[in-house]
Structures are given as C-alpha cells and as structure tokens.
Structure 1
C-alpha cells in the first residue's frame, strides 16, 4: 500500500481553525461572519473530497508534523476508515452551520460569535482525530475536542448549564486521563510504538488477562462513545442549543468516541489478537447491554432531546458491536453505521430544534397534532426515524442489514437477538411520535390546522439530511466502499 506524502490532511484540519480570527473580527457583521463559516466549511469539504480517489484506489496519504519519540510522532494519515469519518463530519458541518443560523437567530441567542468560533475549533479537532496516524496524535485531538465543546455545552451560562458542563468534563476528561492515558503509556512501554497497524502492534507481548484489562481501559476510557456506565454526561449535555446537540450526537463528539475505539481495536490490538483471546465477545457483551438498556430508558423520556440522547447511546453501541463481531460483514456494518446514523440522527435533532423555534415546545406530550402545523418537519422526522430503526427505504437499513449478516456470519445468535429486539424498541419510542403528530382527533390536537413551519434556514437543512438518508438506501457509496476497504485491510492485516 503506497503512502503518498501530502499537506492536504493538515490543510483539512487547519482551514476552519484559521478562519476563527476572521469570525471574531466580524462579530458586528453577522452575515459576513456566517459567510466565512460557509467558505471555510466548503473548502474543508473540498479538500477532504480531493483525497477520496486516492484512498479508493487503495493508497494512503500522510504527513509527519513533529518528531516526539520513536514510534510516537505527531503525524497525520488518511486511510479508508479516516476518510469515511471525515466525509461525514465535513459535509454535515456545512449543513449544521446553515441550521445554526436559523436556530440561533430565530431564538435571538446571545454569544453567536463565540458559538460559531468554538464550533469551528471543534470540527478542526474532529478532522484531526479522523486523520490521526497514531494513538498519541488521536489522543491529543480527542482532548482538544473535549475542551472545545465545553463552551458549547455551557452556552446558556445558567446554573443548569454549568452543572451539566461540569459533568461533561468530569466524565470526558476524567476517563481519558484516568484510563486512556495510562493505557497508552502501557502500550508504548510494551511495544515501543503507538503507530496504527492493520495487524495490531502486539506480537505475543500480552497475556490474555493483560490484553483484556488494557482493552477495557480503552473502551471505557473513550467515554465519548457513551458506553454504559460512562454515559450520563450525554443526556446532561442536552441543555445546550440544538445545533450543539446535533454536533455532539451526529457529527463530532460521540463519533470521535466510537472512532477511537475502532482505531484501538483494529490498529492497536488487531482482529487476530482479539479473536484469539476471545475479547470480541467481551466487548460485544458490553455493547449489547448498553444497546438494550438505553433503548428501554428512551421509551420513558418525555423531553424530545433526552429521548434522542438515549437513542444515540444505543446507536453508538451498534458501531462497537459490529466491530466486536470480528466478522467481515459485521465490521462493515459497524463502520457503515457511523455514516448512516449520522444523517438519520442529525435529521431528528434538527426536527426537535425546529419545533422548539417555531412553538417553544420541547416535551413530546405537548406535540400532539404538530404534524398539521409542521408537515415538512414531521415528514423529515419520519425518514430520520426509519433510518435509526433500520427500515427501508433509508440508509440505516443498509448498515443494520450488514450487522445482521455479521451475526449470522459469526454464528452469534444472541447478538442477532439483541439487534432485532433493539430495533423493535427503536420503533416503539419513535413511531408513536409520528403517529400522534398526524393521526389524532381534532379534540386531541394541541395546534391549529394551519401550516406554520420554523424559519427556512432551520427547515432546509433537515430536508436535505432527510433526503440524504433516503438516497443512501439506493446509493450507499462511497461510504460502503470505504467501510469495505477498511475492513479488508483489518482482516488482511
């Protein structure tokens, strides 16, 4: 596999970072500020896309920034897995930026310049994590993302936001410093390297118990993945504005968590080592508990965003479960779910925010008959919900189909039961929302039967992401190609 030296990965990371001083200086000119946000986002996306052909041809693109220690440089490398994640993050950054304008201006939110600046910093850290060549570089961008998103979570600056922000940092930083950092040092002590390798970096240097402990330190330490019991920060973070919730749940934070676990499982341990020690079953068991428990909790949540939050906790563990199956189709489904879940879930968060902007309502019990007032928004909600449930004709069906095939390929009937049960729970906590929105008696309806949608800048993004979820059912490429290419490298390694 040829490594092509290029500055493009660095430019993809820096472009939204370099625009921050311009955003700050344009604080008194909102239209100029937002224009620069779109310019930076578009350039970032085009840089990422420009590297796609080389990756699909089986090459990698890399750049070493700083020599720190042998086997532990600050370096960037673009491969199929990193490209898949970067495509999702860079494309949704543009759409979320558009949505932020409609939401923040629609509610006349304060601190909009601060908001877009930290948003830009967060997406820079996300692309940096996607393109990290080794565990040290990934860890640095992981921590930068934690600090960049804290001001976004605490945007409202009230008592509730500060409490939630403290919980956010306690869980995210506490686990990364207390578990990931020691695990990383342990890896380097044993192997002398932190470079990601398709076959892993251990060559008979770990016993089964040591490997199990080390792997669990990473799985729980990357708490952005929302694995129970290190998940409660995620519902608490829903005090943030909806664009932040969308960023947290679909684009950046949680996906960096599961992406980091994917990198460790495939690039540090390697599929063969995990299979030989039976560690895939351990991780699959943890993911399964998270999937079922979070889905059950979601059923009882009346606040729209909290129901979506618990849904996200479960959906993230689909990705981890797919990787833990250690079968080609299961791993393909897990990686593909990074993209399919992103477009479906961000649609649902956009819908929740649009309803709040238009009506001031945030509880599902207050939304009976909302479909008559906001038919476009709730139609998009249906598409997003179908994708999360895993039903056609949406992209979520494709990733869950591969996950189901992965359980059969690995002869893991218990995991098949988990997937099917959780999908039924997904339907149980989403479909009644749509049903009550449209199919209620005039006496039950809480809204007049007249169309009154949120501002266009809120509605257009949710329509776009819903349409993408629909199109991905018929054309899942290039995400499916990238996932398949990445898994081929893992299994072959």
Structure 2
C-alpha cells in the first residue's frame, strides 16, 4: 500500500479538523476569511473523497493505523470499503451545500466562530464514523459526534434551546454508555476485532443467549441516534436549533450515524446470516416497522413545521433498518440507497423550512397558505422533497420503496412489510399533501401577504436547496446509471451476499 493510500483517510479527516482549529482561533469579526476557509475546507474534503471513491471502485484500498496505547491490539483504524465510501460521499457532499446554506442563514448573527468551529468538528466525527475500521474507532468518533453537536443544538442560547440540549445529552450520552458496554463486551469475547465482511462472531462458538444479549446491547446503544422508538425523544426536542443544524441532524450526521452503525453491526460484526440464525433480525424488523408507522402517525398532529419534519425523519430513517433486517440482497439495496436518498430529500425540506422561516416568518403549518406565490423556488424544492418522501416517481424516494417492497415479498415472503410501506405512504401523503395544497392553492393570510422577500433570491440560501432538490430527482431518474447510489448499493449487497 502506497504512502498516499495510507494517509489519505487521515487527510480527509484533517481538512475539517484543521479548519475547525483555525476558526476557533480567528477573531469573531473575520467573517469573510472564515467563510472562505469553511468553503475551501468543505470543497477540498469533497474532492479527496471523490478521489477515494474512484480508487475504491477500481480496487484500491486506503487504510491508516495508529496505536491508541489502551491495550494490545487496540488501534485507531481508518479504512475504506464500498460501504464506508457510500456514507463518506453523502457526508462530504451534503456538508459542502450545508456550509453554503449556513453562511447565508446565519448572516448578521453572533457567535459564528463557535458555531463554525464545532460545525467542523462535527464533520470530522462523521467522517471518522464513515471510515472506522473497527468498533473501538467507531465508538471514539461516535462520542465525538455527541460532544461536537451539543453546542450546535444550543446555539441560540434561549431557555428552550438549553432545555433541548439537556434532553439531547441525556439520550445521546446514555446511548453512548450502552454502546461502550457493547464494544467492551465484544472485545472481552473476541479480542481486538475489525469490521469484516460476513462478520467476526459466527465462528467463535458463543452461546445463543450471550450473542443475543450482545446484539440487543448494540442496537440499544445505536438506536438512540437512529431514533428508533422509544429512543427517539431527543429528535423533536432538538428542532429549536437553527435550520442548518436541523438539516445536519436529520440528513447527514446524527441519525445517519446511528443507522450506519446498525448496518455495520448486522453485517460486519455479526454477519447477516449469523444474525438471522440467532433470530434477532425479525424482532429488529418489527421494531423498525413500528417506528415507521409511529413516526408517521405522530407527524400528523404536529403543527410546528420543523417538528412535523422531525417525526417524518423518525419514520423514514427506519426504512434503512427495516431493509437491513429483512435480510436479502434486494432489501439491502433499498436500505443502503435510502441512506443517500433520504439525506437528499430531508436536507432539502429543512433548507426550505429555514428559508420560509427567515423570509416569511413561517414556523407553523397553517402559516403556509400562499407561500408558493411569494417564494415559488423554495416551495418548488419543498414539493420535490415532500413528493419524494411519499414515494412519488421519479423522485428518489420511489426507488427506495419499490426495492424495499420487492425485497420483502420476493426474498423472504414477508408481505407484512409491504403493508407497512403502504400504510406509511398513505400517512406520508396525509401529512404532506395538505402543506402543498395550502402553499400553492390557498390565499395567504393578511400578515403573510405581500411581495416576495429578499430571502427568496439570496444565492447562499437558494442554491443549496435547489441543488439538493435537483439531486433528489436526478438519482431517481438515473437510478440505474453506474454512478448512482442504487448501483453502489448493489456493489455492497453483492459483497455481503456472495456465495
């Protein structure tokens, strides 16, 4: 392995880590320099990740190993495989557009040095989770993600924000402690292990009770950030954070870190066939199905726009867990492609919600009347994201639901999962279609009438939401192209289910 291949994963992390360190040292008044540094760092990271994707696609391997000094065999391992590159590509791409959006959204506000410093630490943690080559590395970056996102959640400094921050910490620190116990137990049973295709536990001769207990501990620890019911309570509470933070929590960082961790545990710690033989995948599928329906039902009653989107996330992220738990190549493709598809659609919705709040002071659902006449570009992007969440073709969400339903019926005959998807789709339509109807067809209230606000044309707010809405359409229309998330998910699925 060449020196470049050895150090490239660390360099990808270093771009945001160094950016954050410099920002913390900058005077608050250096706004242009901070913006230039933020955008340059995010662009460089996206370019380095693209280089790694090209290399992995052509058989290259990238790996960095550093001793931790915590015991024999315990190393910090950053490595590349097709699964890590899927999550890393999503993270680097959406972080770039979120950086642009955050610069525009927070223009003229205070404490930007603190915000963008922790913002950079957050992307460092997420990329570390992407490239984690073993459970101890995953755990370290998973906890760094908690520490770095807390200041973003409480950024506004209001009593409500501080209360939400306490809720966030109670959930995520407890989940982190449970995950620590799971990793410690794993190392006690198997010694230092790496994430391995097919899993590492199948041949160790563990007792069934021991293996099931370990699996349950992992799911409980990771399920907090993945917002599995009943571990989801932090997510709606955290909606007091600024819109760029909400976008990160839902589309890129925290909930995706939990879902990605569950994928790693099922496939690369236990191995999907061993997990299925233990009988733990069916209960996991049932929990995911319940979360899908529960989140959708709770979304119906939310009058605050961001909270409605938050419960939608509770539902939508569990599509990933359901696809993994059904156990089959087609359902795996659905789950892994949804890791990207949901990120694109949900970040679009939160960008739009932030712009509507800035431009029209819209925060409640009933305030959307006539919004499409005053902010047509923003509402057009919102409509794409909402239709995608419902599974309307050709938006990316349709691809996910199609393959998930196909996998459930054709691979294991689990037709009940198809009815879960149908129910979820009906509920999605019930809580999204009235919003679109109000925005496009209802006359605005007197307090929300008037000419289009300047926010509609603000390039740093408009470009990101239009770009992600367009990508939501493109990855649906070109789902079978060689570079689509769906095609990359097929590569991973073939790796996991090869004979």
Give the TM-score range, shorter chain: over 0.9
1:468 matched to 2:485? The reply is no
Counterpart contact for 2:64–2:79, Cα < 8 Å: yes
**Distance in 2 between the 1:186 and 1:21 partners?**
35
User: Taking CA–CA contacts closer than 8 Å with sequence separation of 6 or more, which of the two structures ends up with the larger relative contact order?
Assistant: 1
Match of 1:383 in 2: 384
Deviation at 1:482, TM superposition (A): 2.3
**Equivalent in the alignment of 1:485:** 491
Alpha-carbon spacing, 1:423–1:214, altered in 2? closer, same or farther (3 Å): same
State the distance in 1 between where 2:392 and 2:208 align.
Answer: 39
The C-alpha deviation readout for 1:260-297, integer Å capped at 9, x for no partner, is 11111111110110121221111101111111011100
Q: Counterparts of 1:23 and 1:175 in 2: how far apart (Å)?
A: 30
Tell me whether 153-162 or 25-34 shows the greater mean CA deviation. 25-34
Give, in angstroms, the shift of residue 315 of structure 1.
0.8
The Cα RMSD (Å) is 1.9
> Does the aligned pair in 2 maintain the 1:368–1:436 contact within 8 Å?
yes
- Equivalent residue number for residue 170 of structure 2: 170
* Equivalences for residues 70-109 of structure 1 within 5 A: 70-105=72-107, 108-109=108-109
Alignment correspondent of 1:191 = 190
* Pair 1:57 & 2:63 matched: no
Are 1:21 and 2:21 matched, yes or no? yes
Map 1:308-387 to 2 at 5 A. Answer: 308-387=309-388
CA displacement at 1:4 relative to structure 2: 9.1
Say whether residues 1:287 and 2:288 are aligned partners: yes
Alignment of 1:195-206 (within 5 A): 195-202=194-201, 203-206=203-206
Residue 402 (structure 1) shift: 1.5
- Cα distance in 1 for residues equivalent to 2:15 and 2:388: 32
CA offsets 1:135-185 (integer angstroms, 9 cap, x no match): 0000000000100000000101121111111110110011211x2111111
Cα–Cα, structure 1 residues 390 and 453, in superposed 2: closer, same or farther, change >3 Å?
farther
TM (norm. structure 1) is: 0.95
CA contact (8 A) 2:475 2:484 kept: no
Q: Secondary structure at the match of 1:492?
A: coil
Map 1:87-486 to 2 at 5 A: 87-105=89-107, 108-177=108-177, 179-202=178-201, 203-222=203-222, 223-408=224-409, 409-440=411-442, 442=443, 447-448=448-449, 450-452=451-453, 454=455, 455-476=458-479, 477-486=483-492
Query: In 2, distance between residues paired with 1:74 and 1:365?
Result: 50
Cα distance per residue 1:211-266 (max 9 Å; x no partner): 22221211121111001111000011111101000011101111111111111111
Q: Deviations over 1:60-114 (max 9, x none)?
A: 3211122554553111111111100010110111100111122111xx3221111
Q: Measure the CA separation in 1 of the matches of 2:444 and 2:497.
A: 59
Distance 1:196 1:21, change over 3 A: closer
Give the conservation status (yes or no) of the 8 Å contact 1:290–1:313. yes
- Unaligned segments of structure 1, at least 5 residues: none
Residue 328 of structure 1, CA deviation? 0.3
Q: Distance between the aligned counterparts of 2:29 and 2:449, measured in 1?
A: 38
SS of equivalent residue, structure 1 residue 226: coil
- Corresponding residue SS for 2:497: helix
Measure how far apart 1:447 and its partner are: 3.4
Give, in whole Å, the separation in 1 of the partners of 2:374 and 2:447: 10
Alpha-carbon contact 1:4-1:62 (below 8 Å) kept: no
Q: Please state whether the residue corresponding to 2:426 is helix, strand or coil.
A: helix
Q: Do the aligned partners of 1:453 and 1:459 also contact (CA within 8 Å) in 2?
A: no
**Corresponding residue for residue 10 of structure 2:** 10
1-structure distance, mates of 2:417, 2:148: 36
The answer to whether the 8 Å contact 2:360/2:453 transfers is no
Contact persistence 1:225–1:255 (CA under 8 A): yes
Q: In the alignment, is the contact (CA less than 8 A) between 1:3 and 1:59 conserved in 2?
A: no
- Residues 369, 444 of structure 2: 8 Å contact kept: no
Is the contact made by 1:70 and 1:192 (CA closer than 8 Å) also made in structure 2?
Answer: no
What is the rounded CA distance, in whole Å, between the counterparts of 1:372 and 1:396 in structure 2?
26
